[in-house]
Structure 1
Amino acid sequence: AQRSNCESTLSEKSDRTMKRQVLLFVSFLSLGPVFGQVSYSIPEEMTRGSLVGSIAQDLGLEIKRLISGKAKIYSRNSDQYIELNRERGVLLIKERIDREALCTEKALCALDFQILLENPMEFYTVTVQITDINDNAPTFEKNEMHFKISESAATGAKFDLERAVDLDVGINDLQKYELKATENFGLKLHSNPDGHKNVEMVLLKPLDREKQEQISLVLTAVDGGEPQMSGTMQILITVLDANDNAPVFTQKTYKATVTENSPKGTVVATVTASDADQGSNSKITYSITNTLGNVKKMFEVNTENGQVSLVGTIDFEKTKRFQINIGASDEGGLTDSCKLIVDVLDVNDNKPEINIMSKSTVISEDANLNTVVTMINVEDLDSGDSGIVKCFINENAPFIIKSSTNNFYTLVTDSDLDRERSSEYNITVTCSDEGVPSLSSSVTLTLQISDVNDNVPVFERNSYEAYIVENNTPGLSVFTIKATDADWNQNARVSYILEDSPVNGVPVSSYVSVSADSGVIHAVRSFDYEQIKDFHFRVKAQDGGSPPLSSNVTVKIMIQDQNDNPPQVLYPVQTGGSLVAEMVPRSADVGYLVTKVVAVDVDSGQNAWLSYKLQKATDRALFEVGLQNGEIRTIRQVTDKDAVKQRLTVIVEDNGQPSRSATVVVNVAVADSFPEVLSEFTELTHDKEYNDNLTFYLVLALAVVSFLFITCLVVIISVKIYTWRQSRILYHSNLPVIPYYPPRYSDTLGTGTLPHVYNYEVCRTTDSRKSDCKFGRAGSQNVLIMDPSSTGTMQRIQSEKSILDEPDSPLEVSYKCGFNFMSQCLFK
């Protein structure tokens, strides 16, 4: 009831009596976050939600900084009593605080915690001191005490009374004792070094058992609070017969030491008291008279011999010293008391405690040096060297740990990070004390390294070569290029781009295309080896980073030949309007070269290797064809029985797979004179009819124009022949010969060309008024050109032969220049 009244009164006065003391200390470190300290003082038992202090104002921070920095309280135990309101920037009471339950024997009671902020990391130390209010009345452990006092007890005899306990401190603590309803006894207080007071009952007036055998007294303990609170204990005294000697301890104060964690039953010390009486009045009984703290839970005394031993577990971190009050009483009720001071010796039995205040789980690989990754608080409850802690991390990691302030460490980057070398680090932080033996504890932090686009795509080769067979299907997959990027995710996603460049005057995109995702090169068109044999282009590999990185590679496509072209016969030329025949004299020997079939194949390699075979012949026993050179030769002596007309069909084949071929018909005239050949072939030509009117008119027009042109040319040459006579040398032939022109020239009669029949030389100059035409002598073979109008032509030739035999005749010159004109011998 008294406590309830006190709490009600204090609740009304808490706002008026609370004194807030703020101490702010801020230090800026060159590396790491910002540190600061602020202190508040509040009374205990404040209601939930009560204001502790305006932390934002006292630290000089803005409300939005608390919100953006995700301000929070870090503490091992204080966060259950104090909470942070970020929106208001204040500290509030979270749970009702009972100073006596929180701090037990401590006169000064305070809560220590840190305010943490992120981005950047900052933390501030906050101390909230809890002041005492008078909410506890003095109490006695027992409701009553019994004494047996001899009537012979001398005046001034002292009797130890149980001390009252008041959990409050300061002025609210126990202040005085009152003993009522007595004339024989008084009270005497003794102050102890610990600040408490022992109370003794002193005999003021001798007792008389015969007058009063039982005495009942009331001991009242009063504190100094407002209002005052008190507790009572009843003292019952039985007056005994005379026992005039009280027990006496050998020392008033005993001292002993005990090592923490000593086993139960360990004897700490032995106290000794003596009594000069004899008999039952000299029998001494020992007891512990402490009523405060946990002394009786930790120690016990042997009632007979005074040995003090352990009954509990000693922990230096909880209590470093014990004061044991021991009493000795005889059978007569006389007592004496002493103090046993036990100092607890510390042993290194506590590992350092590692607490992660704030940490990052992901850090970019381009983070600057000395970037704070984690903040750590380390505490060791031991003392001396056992409480000195040093922390370190595992080797071969690009991080170091630094001590920022007492018991606080920061893990920072020490060198450049490279995700491609290591994408994750398991950092083991180990903290060891300097005790003997040393104790340590560790914690492992997992840190992911986020990717930065710092690697270009790399092709598997410096350049590529691919082959494709001509006549391919458009869209055919030709080749696949591959580039890899050491980065991750989007930064490693490679796209392939065909760089625009010309190939034979057209964009390369009209030849090939590249798949952006797979790097597959497709042919856009069908290739022809005879038009293009190879080409090259460049492909760019670009990643998906921002900004993107790229690299280039050269790709060369080589077209492979197919046997898609048949051989082409260059000689003898097959014409539709005239008939070409090769003359073989009947006197020709074995191996006589009749002619040579000339053919080419625009393919390459073995597809262009040609072989010649005689497919058909009028007389197979007379001729043969060279397999490799196409030369037609006689294989036996020509006889008179051999037909004049010989028709040979020669097939020309290439070496491709499958093979392609072409055929050519060679007409051979076996005769010694031209009239014999002419009569034979004229019959053949008369059987030929031309039903195409268009062809007839074209040939007629050509003949008229040719005749007019030749006539004009003969007249001009006749006029100028006189000036040319000295510079020309005429070659006379006994046979009527039609000259042969090489394959690159054409004759006006449309009869085709033959090799090595007549050698000729044309000499032309652009500024000379003279040109020279020379005819060499006939070769080993003759050429006959047969035309439907050849009979008239041959008659004209024979009539002109006699004129040609005369040197320097005008007709000779005209004849010569007429043929030279056809070989593009130009005259100015």
Structure 2
Amino acid sequence: MESGRKGWVYGWLFYTVCALSLFAAEVTGQIRYSIPEEMSVGSIVGNIASDLGLEPKRLISGKARVFSAESSEYIGLDKENGHLIIKSKIDREELCGEISACSISFDVILDNPMELYRVTVDIQDINDNSPLFPKAKIDKEINELAVLGARFPLESAIDRDVGVNTLQKYTLHPTDHFKLNVQNAEDGSKNVEMILHSPLDREKEKRHNLVLTAFDGGKPQRSATVQINIVVLDVNDNAPVFSQSSYKASVVENSAKGSVVTTVSATDADESSHNIQYYFEHATSIIKSLFSIDADSGEVKVIGDIDYEKQKQFKIKVNAKDHGGLTDSSEIIIDVIDVNDNIPKVTIMSFSSAVSEDAAPGTVIAMLNVQDLDSGDNSKITCSIDLNSPFKIVPSLTNYYNLVTDSELDREQIAEYNITITAVDGGNPPLSSKDILKLKISDVNDHAPQFQQESYNAFISENNPPSTTIISVKAEDMDWGPNAKMSYFLIDGDLNGSPLTSYISINSETGVIYAEKSFDYEQIKSFKIKVKAQDGGSPPLSNNVTLNIFIQDQNDNAPQVLYPVQTGGSVVAEIVPRSADVGYLVTKVVAVDVDSGQNAWLSYKLQKATDRALFEVGLQNGEIRTVRQVTDKDAVKQKLTVVVEDNGQPSRSAVVTINVAVADNFPEVLSEFTDSTHDKEYNNDLTFYLILALAVVSLLFIVSIIAIVSVKIYRWRQNKLFYKSGANLPVIPYYPPVYADGTLQQVYNYEMCGTTDSRMSDVKFVRPYSQNTLVSQSCLGTVQREKQEQENNDLTLEVRPYNLYYKCL
């Protein structure tokens, strides 16, 4: 029956609280609920989502959670429905003791963005505790001569409930000799005593058995009883009297065991006053574990560890009893003095372990709660962080701080911070605690790639195989992760009308540049390309660098002889007169090498000579000169083989053969070379074509000579008429032409008859002339040239053999 009524009361209180919670207003980040104690686990305290005007999904996305330094085990949060629920039963008496106003506070924290709401839940008392007497019976001894109105204090009952649910009244039965007197103490407790209103007579009745009942004011009402056994004694007229109605003392927490707190004393008008005994009345187990009283001296001492944070004040009832059983009571009020024995506690309620380097100043990094269980100045906490840090601590709500950015961050300078948070209380000496937060700075793509060099020069030898590595370029990015992942590209361009990608390629990951084809130094000596390095950021950043590629020459080309020209069946001959001086220039070998550098440095040397050393060739210039005077023993026909060699490794060379005729006159040269050619056999068809070609050339040559002579005669007649009719003109001297070294010194007129067989050809020589018979016609109009033409009536042709064929000079 009693359990049913109790459940009804619980239900009524629950619905009342729920109805009141609907009107809870959230104005300054705080909300308040009221619930009865002893609610079952899972019961709903209130819907915080609706009371705060939040969407239920906000609790899930914000990772809503309950935080409390002390009472987080009582209240939980159902994020799906937004309900605050009971996690464990709340016993108000255990939580708050004798304090009537009992509540628990906690914080509801949300992230993204950070939000904090303070929630206070008032715990309402229910009548779940009955009054309780410290003993099952009370034994008292009262002298039969006790005067009417004598007071006999009784041990009070204790009810752990508060308000109307606590102890309200006492009853005593029977009341033949004694009646009750109940007095209200300053702290709200009740002191009960018996007053003698009818004389006692030991001879009539030695013992009296009374029943004391205590009632609380709860519904249903609870009660407790104690048996009072009174023994009537003989002759004890005066009861002990304490010197003070109450004693006040103080003790420092953590006082050493044995420390004296205070001393109580009582006096008795009887002669046996020195036999007064002192003892605690109705001392709780906590008081008995912390304090003791000397029964003879009344000295109160510390016997346990006193902690201010657990209990700040103690009230102890003390009795004095004489040998006749008369007693008096008093109260000891002991205040505990706080000592700064608790270090501040820093609790990280919300913390972002990483923050972007472009976070604006004022961005919240962490939310901190600081607590100190001490009181007064000992609980005043100052929170700080390291100096010269881009962060700062700013206060938020009471005992709350926010760690925020104070300046711009740069991950490339500092990628991680160890932020030391120091909490110092105001005690003397102060106590402090430290907590370290490891904060990583997340990267932002704010740095473009940078090449290790402003430009690159690469060298590759020509004739390289395809896929040859030319060079490796590398760019670095101060960013991190994907923002620093590098990719390399060739910027579009062309070379000799072809795209660059047909010549070279690049590995996009490593930056290694390869040749796509074989290079030829003689075609391409160098070219430029641009390489782009691009990071993996979004948007990506890039940078360019110029790469100069130089093709290195290899000795892959042999020298080429430009002069003398070598033909398949021709015999090239240079004529050296026997009167030539030492150093006479015979001819000059001209050669080139399309390579470069030392591969194109040419040197000349004679490989083979037909006679002892008559000639030499210049090592550098290729000039062939005589090294001594020509003697009669020297053969007319000299065959020189000149080797032209470059300076490459290995070297390459070319060979040219030069025929030199040593003779003073042309017939001697011709006979020598004619004799040498009689031994050759030629094909008849080839000879026929040669004769035919020679006839055509001769015909053209004769026609040209006739035309030139006709023009000269015509001009001569015109000039003659001009001189006859004109005035006297000054005489211009005539200088004969100077012949270069290596030409014949005499002029020959000859006729040549050729057949299909060259061995049957013949040359008919006419008389020689001592001077040139063919003169220059470039200076018409001069008197000297006119006289010369008049003296030479017969036009002759001066011919110098140059090679086997004849040229007209």
TM-score by length of 1: 0.86
Distance 1:5 1:179, change over 3 A: farther
Q: Does 1:660 align with 2:660?
A: no
User: Residue 397 of structure 1: CA displacement?
Assistant: 2.1
Q: Does 1:569 align with 2:535?
A: no
Paired residues for 1:587-602 under 5 Å: 587-602=579-594
Q: Does 1:235 align with 2:228?
A: yes
CA distance in 1, matches of 2:61, 2:700: 106
Give 2:181's match in structure 1, choosing from 167, 175, 188. Answer: 188
Paired residues for 1:732-771 under 5 Å: none
User: Residue 448 of structure 1: CA displacement?
Assistant: 1.2
Q: Which residue of 2 aligns with 1:357?
A: 349
Q: Does 1:140 align with 2:122?
A: no
- Name the SS of the counterpart of 2:482 in structure 1: helix
CA distance in 2, matches of 1:369, 1:660: 75
Distance 1:377 1:296, change over 3 A: same
User: Residue 721 of structure 1: CA displacement?
Assistant: 4.3
User: Residue 701 of structure 1: CA displacement?
Assistant: 7.7
Amino acid at match of 2:619: L
Distance 1:16 1:491, change over 3 A: closer
Structure 2 portions without partners, runs of 5+: 720-734, 776-787
Q: Does 1:112 align with 2:137?
A: no
**Per-residue Cα deviation, 1:274-332 (whole angstroms, up to 9, x for no partner):** 111124x7510111114458333322211101111112222222222222221101111
Distance 1:802 1:95, change over 3 A: closer
**Per-residue Cα deviation, 1:90-111 (whole angstroms, up to 9, x for no partner):** 2122222221222212211111
CA distance in 2, matches of 1:202, 1:811: 191
Q: Does 1:410 align with 2:402?
A: yes
Q: Which residue of 2 aligns with 1:150?
A: 143
Give 1:45's match in structure 2, choosing from 38, 44, 67. Answer: 38
User: Residue 84 of structure 1: CA displacement?
Assistant: 1.4
Q: Which residue of 2 aligns with 1:295?
A: 287
Distance 1:147 1:725, change over 3 A: farther
Between stretches 628-637 and 379-388, larger displacement belongs to 628-637
- Name the SS of the counterpart of 2:20 in structure 1: coil
- Name the SS of the counterpart of 1:26 in structure 2: coil
CA distance in 2, matches of 1:241, 1:11: 55
Q: Which residue of 2 aligns with 1:807?
A: 789
Amino acid at match of 2:741: S
Distance 1:7 1:814, change over 3 A: farther
CA distance in 2, matches of 1:697, 1:363: 102
Paired residue total:
765
- Name the SS of the counterpart of 1:20 in structure 2: helix
Distance 1:89 1:692, change over 3 A: farther
Note if contact 2:557-2:652 (Cα within 8 Å) is conserved in structure 1: yes
Distance 1:15 1:404, change over 3 A: closer
Note if contact 1:569-1:598 (Cα within 8 Å) is conserved in structure 2: yes
Q: Does 1:457 align with 2:418?
A: no
Q: Which residue of 1 aligns with 2:599?
A: 607
- Name the SS of the counterpart of 1:45 in structure 2: coil
User: Residue 260 of structure 1: CA displacement?
Assistant: 1.2
Between stretches 703-712 and 805-814, larger displacement belongs to 805-814
Q: Which residue of 2 aligns with 1:753?
A: none
Paired residues for 1:65-464 under 5 Å: 65-279=58-272, 283-291=275-283, 294-464=286-456
Paired residues for 1:520-599 under 5 Å: 520-599=512-591
CA distance in 2, matches of 1:495, 1:558: 25
**Per-residue Cα deviation, 1:740-769 (whole angstroms, up to 9, x for no partner):** xxxxxxxxxxxxxxxxxxxxxxxxxxxxxx
Amino acid at match of 1:539: V
Distance 1:99 1:810, change over 3 A: farther
Distance 1:92 1:585, change over 3 A: same
**Aligned residues with identical type, % of pairs:** 55
Q: Which residue of 1 aligns with 2:12?
A: 13
CA distance in 1, matches of 2:558, 2:713: 54
Structure 1 portions without partners, runs of 5+: 28-35, 729-773
Between stretches 121-130 and 645-654, larger displacement belongs to 645-654
**Per-residue Cα deviation, 1:528-586 (whole angstroms, up to 9, x for no partner):** 22222222212111111111111111121222222222222222211224322111112
- Name the SS of the counterpart of 1:578 in structure 2: coil
CA distance in 1, matches of 2:8, 2:210: 33
Amino acid at match of 2:336: V
CA distance in 1, matches of 2:270, 2:689: 174
User: Residue 613 of structure 1: CA displacement?
Assistant: 1.8
Note if contact 2:754-2:761 (Cα within 8 Å) is conserved in structure 1: no
- Name the SS of the counterpart of 1:78 in structure 2: coil
**Per-residue Cα deviation, 1:615-665 (whole angstroms, up to 9, x for no partner):** 111112322223333222223322333222111112122222222221111
TM-score by length of 2: 0.88
CA distance in 2, matches of 1:104, 1:270: 27
**Per-residue Cα deviation, 1:247-297 (whole angstroms, up to 9, x for no partner):** 111111222121111112111111111111124x75101111144583333
Amino acid at match of 1:678: L
User: Residue 202 of structure 1: CA displacement?
Assistant: 1.0
Note if contact 1:184-1:206 (Cα within 8 Å) is conserved in structure 2: yes
- Name the SS of the counterpart of 1:61 in structure 2: coil
Q: Which residue of 2 aligns with 1:491?
A: 483
User: Residue 238 of structure 1: CA displacement?
Assistant: 0.4
Q: Which residue of 2 aligns with 1:685?
A: 677
Note if contact 2:134-2:282 (Cα within 8 Å) is conserved in structure 1: no
User: Residue 59 of structure 1: CA displacement?
Assistant: 0.8
Amino acid at match of 2:665: S
User: Residue 17 of structure 1: CA displacement?
Assistant: 4.3
User: Residue 389 of structure 1: CA displacement?
Assistant: 0.6
Note if contact 1:290-1:296 (Cα within 8 Å) is conserved in structure 2: no
- Name the SS of the counterpart of 2:396 in structure 1: strand
Note if contact 2:773-2:796 (Cα within 8 Å) is conserved in structure 1: no
- Name the SS of the counterpart of 1:182 in structure 2: coil
Give 1:781's match in structure 2, choosing from 742, 764, 781. Answer: 742
- Name the SS of the counterpart of 1:234 in structure 2: strand
Amino acid at match of 1:659: S
Amino acid at match of 1:521: I
Note if contact 1:20-1:53 (Cα within 8 Å) is conserved in structure 2: no
Amino acid at match of 2:789: P
CA distance in 2, matches of 1:255, 1:497: 90
Distance 1:389 1:803, change over 3 A: closer
Distance 1:5 1:339, change over 3 A: same
CA distance in 1, matches of 2:608, 2:468: 44
Note if contact 1:20-1:42 (Cα within 8 Å) is conserved in structure 2: no
Distance 1:778 1:426, change over 3 A: same
Q: Which residue of 1 aligns with 2:782?
A: none
Q: Cα RMSD over matched residues?
A: 3.3
**Per-residue Cα deviation, 1:68-108 (whole angstroms, up to 9, x for no partner):** 11111111343322221222222122222221222212211
Note if contact 1:322-1:341 (Cα within 8 Å) is conserved in structure 2: yes
**Per-residue Cα deviation, 1:493-538 (whole angstroms, up to 9, x for no partner):** 1122122223334333233222222222222222222222222212
Q: Which residue of 2 aligns with 1:32?
A: none
Note if contact 2:637-2:672 (Cα within 8 Å) is conserved in structure 1: yes
Q: Which residue of 2 aligns with 1:623?
A: 615
CA distance in 1, matches of 2:411, 2:689: 85
Distance 1:11 1:323, change over 3 A: closer
Between stretches 705-714 and 674-683, larger displacement belongs to 705-714
